[in-house]
Amino acid sequence: MRSVVLTSLFCALMSTAAIAQTSTTAPTPSPNAPADANAPLPGANSFTEGQAKSRLEANGYSNVSSLKKDDNGVWKGTATHSGAQVTVSVDYRGNITRN
Residue 4's identity, in one-letter code, is: V
Q: How far apart are CA 94 and CA 47, in angstroms?
A: 8
pLDDT tens digits for range 64-73: 999 999 999 9
pLDDT of residue 25: 41
pLDDT tens string 26-63: 444 444 455 567 778 888 888 999 999 999 999 999 99
* Predicted local distance difference test score (pLDDT) of residue 53: 97
Whether this prediction's pTM lies above 0.75 is answered by no
